[in-house]
Structure 1
């Protein structure tokens, strides 16, 4: 596998169409992944991070529009799904109403079946060009710390760091504005979804573990501002 090849997730229950798309996309320099249902697509996000999704609507079990909604509703923090992921719907439902409904739910483009592969390839290229800005500028650097939200990876002094989902979500939130103090109430609402904030040590426990992992080379990250909340670091920082 060539990591430089854009990864395209094909969500299509028809085996012939799925194979046709995978073969042609592979020949055109993409890395295709194929699944047959919405649930399989969501499960695939646990292992891979596609650059674009090709999505049929008439799928077994759950309609493709449900996947569009779930992706767009993702918080992009705890979830492994990027809410800005480009979505191209391949639909056998040819009416204007169906096309408009797909776009209203969050699809970036709709191509009606049967489709021309050269046209599909051109639309894929256009969506990927538009998404390059999102992917490139989604990465953050805070001193020696590098965070890639799309790939859900963290590097400290160039070496990978293993974090849990909640630890990653906490780190990414703090890194968005690393010298600002983020209140405990704010972090518990945005990361854990707490609506009523009672007495809990959840945030403090995760912050402590995250601080320990980030201090392996002697750096000081995750500063506890007593009685208020947390910030990532004290001094001025730069982002890459």
Structure 2
């Protein structure tokens, strides 16, 4: 599977020509592309569309692209629902060394100066997505005393092996990849069960209930139901 097969890119760029050039070429290369011209619109899309990677200019009509970087890195995944680990690439005409250094200090993952070579830009996007996807897919995931090992399909709580069904494991893994964020029921039903038409189903709630029970033998509460929204993980125990 190529990096473009599942990746959604958010372009935050106020120059119509640059935005259209990037959107047209990245779409042609198989990415899903979202476009915003303002910081506020980019943040709204981060909260509602959950892009896999953001390309942001610095000089935007309502602020600096660094404002967006700051909001992403400072997010808790709850109040704003922005994933603080979303990779961000700055694409800017401010290409001096000090600008690049400041960009990395503020939390961007890559910095590309304008004018840019599209093949190089795409190569950087692919490389960044590969690093992120490999880390999410193959690395061990830790949430407090809980360790999820995707390659081995094992879950251990304080060293004790926890017996989970295939769907319970898939649900836990989905939550553990983004433990700071509340995952909506729609996201989980589509991502874990592959549902296209959601309708009325208790499948997610019943699996989450069993998962909560299996992980709660020592009084921990890892799987939290955020009423009306979805589920998230905490590194229990927490107050009732």
TM (normalized to structure 1)?
0.63
Tell me by how many angstroms 1:229 deviates. Answer: 3.6
Which residue of 2 is the match for residue 28 of structure 1?
Answer: 29
Which residue of 1 is the match for residue 215 of structure 2?
Answer: 178
Tell me by how many angstroms 1:50 deviates. Answer: 0.7
Deviates more, 1:31-40 or 1:44-53: 44-53
Residue ranges of structure 2 left out of the alignment (5+ in a row): 142-147, 156-163, 201-207, 232-236
Deviates more, 1:37-46 or 1:114-123: 37-46
Q: Which runs of 4+ in 1 moved over 2 A?
A: 76-79, 133-145, 147-162, 177-183
CA distance in 2 between counterparts of 1:46 and 1:75 reads 12
CA distance in 1 between counterparts of 2:116 and 2:61 reads 21
CA distance in 2 between counterparts of 1:161 and 1:23 reads 34
Tell me by how many angstroms 1:78 deviates. Answer: 4.5
Cα shift readout 1:144-201 (whole Å, capped 9, x = no counterpart):
4425345643349947699xxxxxxxx8xx97x9335358xxx9xxxxxxxxxxxxxx
Which residue of 1 is the match for residue 134 of structure 2?
Answer: 133
Residue ranges of structure 1 left out of the alignment (5+ in a row): 163-170, 188-202, 215-224, 231-240
CA distance in 1 between counterparts of 2:68 and 2:95 reads 19
Q: CA RMSD in A?
A: 3.8
SS across alignment from 2:215? coil
1:47 aligns with 2:81: no
CA distance in 2 between counterparts of 1:25 and 1:119 reads 13
* Aligned residue pair count: 183
Equivalent positions of 1:57-206 (< 5 A) are: 57-136=58-137, 143=165, 144-145=167-168, 146=171, 148-149=174-175, 152=184, 153-155=187-189, 158=193, 178-179=215-216, 180-182=218-220
**Contact 1:155 1:161 (8 Å CA) reproduced:** no
**Contact 2:5 2:30 (8 Å CA) reproduced:** no
